[in-house]
Structure formats: structure tokens, C-alpha cells
Structure 1
Amino acid sequence: MRLIIIIAALLIAVFSASASGRSWQSADPGSAGWSIEGLKQAQNYALSLRPTGIMVVQDGRIIASWGDVSRKVNVASVRKSLLSALYGIAVSEGRINLGSTLAELGIDDRPLALTETEKQATVRDLLMSRSGVYHPAAYETADIKRKRPARGSHEPSSFWFYNNWDFNTLGTIYRQRTGEDIFQSFEQKIARPIQMEDFSHRDGHYVKEQASEHPAYPFRLSARDAARFGQLFLDGGRWGDRQIIPSSWVKEATTAYSWTKRGRQGYGYMWWSLPSDVWGLNAAYAAGYGGQIIAFIPSKRLVVTQTVDLSQNPKGIKTSHFIDLLREIVSAAP
């Protein structure tokens, strides 16, 4: 019995080191029950897409890594999920109230001011991308500009539209209510505690445009640091023996409050969710233009990240192609 207890303690220690240590530990896929042929097929498909780096992590250990997983790239709209995590901390500390309206927070914009109706949108509405504020925004794609609804066409909370104005304004609210820089805050509250190997606050910057006073806040991440962030959410906001993000926020942020037209992907608090009938419960991902992805699948204890340097692969990788890759990886998993 004593021997069994010692072995169990050693196994717990090994897992803890792999999931929350300074550097990732690797696992032998075959010994872990993976289909080697299936994993090879996934690798071949992945490399055909020309990513910069891909990490496949199960139970806190590397199953596979393809490409340059230490190279930092602009992860585009993944920035929104990173900020969502900071919001979870700030809300739990009582520094931000999700029910506060833009009017109460003194939020406006220029050169076109917000209407009184628009100012009734709450912080929660912005997190869900349901503000009803269709003001021009910094860092928008041409597609979003073309599809943006007319000002005043929808009341706050009544309509979902993937809206950079909401996301950028959340950055302004975070800085105002906490008095902290987004990137320094992320480094101190998340990157250091989960021992990211590559990120520093210098890997973020603000993008300002004349169309709006609320700047965007792009991040640069490596695939292996992105995997740590995915592991943090997979483990309910916990890293080792420390609760970094409240577990209640992890669940709340990755719950679908809106669904795309096809009804197969939902949107939470700046996170995308996947249908449970295909991926199991609570599967979600962060996505950025060009193929930047952080996905976690609790039913398989799996994290998969993908980065794409658009200077080397200008067309990027479609999210739908990543989902196809994710299916192959999940099929190969035990």
C-alpha cells in the first residue's frame, strides 16, 4: 500500500510539473494511446496549410509540435480572448461591473458622438458583441466595414454583430477602471504566473485611427505560449496550485450567448464555442485573422494552438481549415 501511495504521489508530481512548469514536457504519443497513423495524417494536412507553428497538448504534455512554436506573431483577434481573461480577474476584484452602462462609465467617441440610446449598452453587452453601437472602429477588416449595420438599427443587447468597436472600447474601459496598461497587466497577472516562455509586455501595442478614439491592442504570441493560455482555460483558470482566473469566469466567458447563422458555433465573452454534440461539453476557441487559434477540448483533455506569420503566408489559413485539422487530431486522440 505504501508503495502505491508513493507511485501515485510521483505521478501527480510529474503531471504538475508538465502542466505548470517552466518548460513543456513531452509525452510519447503511442504510449499515451494515440493513433500514430492518424497523427501523421494530421501533421501532413497541417503542414500543407503552411502554419508558422502548431502545438498539440494533452494532459499538460506535448503530443506533437510542428513548425517554429517559439516564434512570436501577431495573433490578431485572439487579443480579445486574452483581454476577456483580464476582465475575469478585474470583475472578481470588484473593479469592473458588468452591468455598468457606457453612460455611467463616461464612454463616448469622436468624431461622431454616441447617442443616448447607444450609451445604455452595458459592459456585458460589449463582451457579448451586442452593444448596438455601430460606430467606425480601429483595426477593422474591409469585410466588417462592409457588413456593419447602420447606426441606430438595433437596440443594445438585442442583436449580435462581430464588432471591433465593442472590443476596442472594452480595452479603454479596462484601462480606465483598473488604471493599468493592458499588456503589462497581462504579463503580470497571466503570462508570468503560467510561466510563458516568450511573451513580454513589449509584445503588445496600441493601434489608433482617426475614426474612433478607442484604440485596438494587438498582441504577439508564440504557439507554445498560446498553448499555456489554452491549458489555463482547459483547467478552469487554474495553474498548478494557484487559481489565476476564477473558474466561474472561464465557464461564463466560453458559454454561447449568440449563434452564427449556421448555428454550429456560438459566441460568449470574446470566445467562440463549439457544438457539444460534436466536440463534447465546453469546447471553445480563440480565433484571429489569418489562422491564429487557441482551442481547447475538455472531453479529450486537449489543447491545440496554431500561429501563422502572414508575412510568410499572406493568404493565411481559414478557420474552417483549422477546424478540419482539429477533427483529424481529435480522431487520432485516445
Structure 2
Amino acid sequence: MVVRKKRKLLLLAGIINLLVLSLIGCKNSSTQVESTTWEYHRNPDEVGWSFDKLKKAKDYYDSIGSTAAMAIYDGKVLFEWGDVTKKSNVHSVRKSFLSALLGIYVQEGTIHLEETLNELGISDNVTLTMLEENATIADLLTSRSGIYLRAGEESLLMRWNRPERESYVPGSQFHYNNWDFNVLGTIFNNKTNSDLFEEFNERIAIPIGMEDYVLEDSIYKYELKRSMHPSYLFRMSARDMARFGLLFLQDGQWAGQQLIPKDWISESTSVQTPVPTSIEYGYGYMWWVADAKPFNELGLYSAIGRYGQSIDIIPEANLVFVHRVNSDRLINRTVNHVNDKKRLTLLEKVLDAHIGD
């Protein structure tokens, strides 16, 4: 009888402890990850963020199919929702990773934005026309090459909406086009005589202390019936994506080192071309750049991937926001994927919680 009573007391104490831990986690708006070098804000209210409004943002996050989110304010974790250590496909966020690497080699003089595909010797399963060969690296970076060929990692919508060849002169018309982005991977490897994954690992991932990403999380995906140029795919956790975002928020600096040229950060995240199909964004060098209120006033620019992946950088709020939907699960690709409208609504709710320091 005494033993049974003691077990009941221990069970009750365990339940109370769990409730206390739950309340602490709610108070910090985060579930802190063990074994991490990230620093945390212990109390959002003390650094100018409303706990109640962050809770409302979390409620919305829970309702839309998100699987992880993380915010970095003033260099420290403001909150973590979901499993921020789980790695999954970042989809088109990969393009902003390559943009950062290209910036390093543009500054070093190895890569020149005005170089044409003719000068670079770029072709594909079909021969490029003389008009298409006039496209430059800058045209590819801004998705204005005017080259409308089959490419790897294309969605059905991208295939359906592909214009006829030579519909536009290179540099004259934005059309989101995976051919441009995949060819940039080929150009990078050819011009640097290196491998973009190894370069990303050595130049960015290791210096900024990514905790989950390893070189084996990156692969080339060949779809040779479509194109000879492979897609370059990354699997990454939310907390490592947040480090990449913080690197850009810090103008390319990390621990006193200038990893990405500051001028490239500014140029690549500025609107280089309008995007007729978007009411929120223009396009930079493989970055989406807010060009309409309210986000343009905050300096928002984003790396965006399919199904709801994003790294949103908001300089005026000193904030990096990462959003994830684990697309490894079929239901998340078909039912629970988060479109830009929902993701930006969530971001607005997060920013609404900023009440000032």
C-alpha cells in the first residue's frame, strides 16, 4: 500500500515537472535544442517582443502545415518551433546558396557577369541558337536568359508555362527558369575548376558553424533526358539555414571574417528585375526581393523553395526567420504545403509581435 502510494506521488511529481517545463518552453517561445552553439533570448518580452503575440503567431503556424520555424533576433534565437535539427530538401533555396558562392568568385575576378554562353562554351542536348548564346551570366542570375529548354527539377507548372524558344531577347524578360539556375552550377564548376558542394562546405558551412549539414547532404541530380546540366540539391536543417541567413544579415561577416563580399550582398539582394507575376517580390541574383509595402520598407529579401521552404531576412527588424515544411512526406507535398501567401502572413504575425526594445 505504501509502495503504491509512493508511486502515485512520484507520478504526480513527474506530471507537475512536465507541466512546469512546458510552461517554461512556452514562456521562451522555444524548445531549446541540446548540444548547440546558438545563444538564446531567455525571455522575449525583455528584448522587445510580445509573448502573447508570438503565441498567436505560433497558433497560426500550427494551423497551416508548417513543420519547423525559427527566428534569430540580434544574433540570438528568439524562438524555435518544431524540430529545427531535422534535415530535408531545401528545394530552390539552393539557388541563393550558389549566388553567395558566385559572389566570392566574381570579386576574385574568376567569374565575370558579362561573359556570354558562347564564350563559356555552354550547350545542351540541343544546340543553342545564336540568339540564345548571347545570354550572359547576369541574365542567368536574374532568370532573364531567354532560353526556354527542358531542365531538371521542373514542376509541372514550370513545364506548362515555358515560352517558345526565342520568344524574348536575352536580358529582356523575367521568366523563372530552372535551366538558367542549373547551368549556373555547371558554369561555377567549370570556371573555378572545383565543386560547388565542396566550396559551399569549405567557404560557408564550416566557417559559420553549421551543426547538422555535412557534405553528403548534397547531391547532383541528373535527368539526362531533359538536360545535360544537373540540379544541385541540398538537405539542411532549419537551424543551419538560419546561420546562412544570419551571415547575410551581417553583410557577409562571421566572427570577424568577410566570407561573402559586402558589395555582392547588397547587389544580389537588390531588385534587378521586376516580376510581373508577383505582388510581393522582385528578383535579384537568385534572391527574391520585396518591392511592395509593407515588406519593402523593412528591407525583406528571401530565399524561397517549393512547398514552403524559406530564409527570410528582415534588416530593419534585425531578424532572420526560417520556415520549413518537410517535403520528404507525401502529405506535406500534396496537402500541407505552405504557399507564399500563408508564409508571409505568418511572417507578418511574427513581426507584429515586435514591440520595440
TM surpasses 0.5: yes
- What is the distance in 2 between the residues matched to 1:106 and 1:282? 38
Q: 1:263 to 1:44 in 2, by over 3 A?
A: closer
- In the alignment, structure 1 residue 256 sits paired with structure 2 residue 238: no
- In the alignment, structure 1 residue 201 sits paired with structure 2 residue 208: no
Instruction: Write the letter of the residue equivalent to 2:55.
Output: K
Does the CA contact (< 8 Å) of 1:72 and 1:222 recur in 2?
A: yes
Report the counterpart of residue 71 of structure 1 in structure 2.
86
- What is the distance in 2 between the residues matched to 1:176 and 1:314? 34
Report the counterpart of residue 10 of structure 2 in structure 1.
none
Q: Select which of 325, 342, 345 maps to 1:321.
A: 342
Q: 1:243 to 1:310 in 2, by over 3 A?
A: same
Report the counterpart of residue 222 of structure 1 in structure 2.
237
**Quick check: which has more Rg, 1 or 2?**
2
**What secondary structure, in the 3-state scheme, does the structure 2 residue paired with 1:129 have?**
coil
Pairwise CA distance, 1:276: 6.0
Q: Select which of 275, 278, 283 maps to 2:300.
A: 283
Instruction: Write the letter of the residue equivalent to 1:66.
Output: W
Q: Residues 103-122 of structure 1: matches in 2 within 5 Å?
A: 103-110=118-125, 112-122=126-136
Report the counterpart of residue 29 of structure 2 in structure 1.
none
- In the alignment, structure 1 residue 176 sits paired with structure 2 residue 190: yes
> What is the CA deviation profile of residues 227-285 of structure 1, one whole-angstrom value per residue up to 9, with x for unaligned ones?
00000111111112111100100111111122223443110000001136412253200
- What is the distance in 1 between the residues matched to 2:159 and 2:37? 41
- What is the distance in 1 between the residues matched to 2:156 and 2:279? 24
Instruction: Write the letter of the residue equivalent to 2:341.
Output: S
- What is the distance in 1 between the residues matched to 2:67 and 2:306? 14
Q: CA RMSD in A?
A: 1.2
> What is the CA deviation profile of residues 120-171 of structure 1, one whole-angstrom value per residue up to 9, with x for unaligned ones?
1000000000000001111100000000110011010010000000000000
Report the counterpart of residue 187 of structure 1 in structure 2.
201
Q: Select which of 103, 128, 131 maps to 2:145.
A: 131
Does the CA contact (< 8 Å) of 1:276 and 1:282 recur in 2?
A: no
Instruction: Write the letter of the residue equivalent to 1:271.
Output: W
Q: Select which of 33, 38, 52 maps to 1:24.
A: 38
Does the CA contact (< 8 Å) of 2:88 and 2:328 recur in 1?
A: no
The 4+ residue runs of structure 1 with deviation greater than 4 A are none
Q: Residues 38-57 of structure 1: matches in 2 within 5 Å?
A: 38-57=53-72
Report the counterpart of residue 353 of structure 2 in structure 1.
332
TM-score by length of structure 2 reads 0.85
Pairwise CA distance, 1:93: 1.2
Report the counterpart of residue 158 of structure 2 in structure 1.
144
Does the CA contact (< 8 Å) of 2:280 and 2:292 recur in 1?
A: no
**What secondary structure, in the 3-state scheme, does the structure 2 residue paired with 1:213 have?**
coil
Instruction: Write the letter of the residue equivalent to 1:231.
Output: L
List gaps (5 residues or longer) in structure 1: 1-21
> What is the CA deviation profile of residues 164-209 of structure 1, one whole-angstrom value per residue up to 9, with x for unaligned ones?
0000000000000011111111000000111111111111111111
> What is the CA deviation profile of residues 21-74 of structure 1, one whole-angstrom value per residue up to 9, with x for unaligned ones?
x71100020111111111000011112223221111101111110000000010
- In the alignment, structure 1 residue 90 sits paired with structure 2 residue 111: no
- In the alignment, structure 1 residue 246 sits paired with structure 2 residue 267: no
Identity across aligned pairs (percent)? Answer: 44
- In the alignment, structure 1 residue 231 sits paired with structure 2 residue 246: yes
**What secondary structure, in the 3-state scheme, does the structure 2 residue paired with 1:97 have?**
coil
TM-score by length of structure 1 reads 0.91
Instruction: Write the letter of the residue equivalent to 2:290.
Output: L
Does the CA contact (< 8 Å) of 1:183 and 1:202 recur in 2?
A: no
- In the alignment, structure 1 residue 272 sits paired with structure 2 residue 321: no
- In the alignment, structure 1 residue 167 sits paired with structure 2 residue 181: yes
Pairwise CA distance, 1:107: 0.5
**What secondary structure, in the 3-state scheme, does the structure 2 residue paired with 1:256 have?**
coil
Pairwise CA distance, 1:95: 1.1
- What is the distance in 2 between the residues matched to 1:78 and 1:190? 15
Instruction: Write the letter of the residue equivalent to 1:37.
Output: D
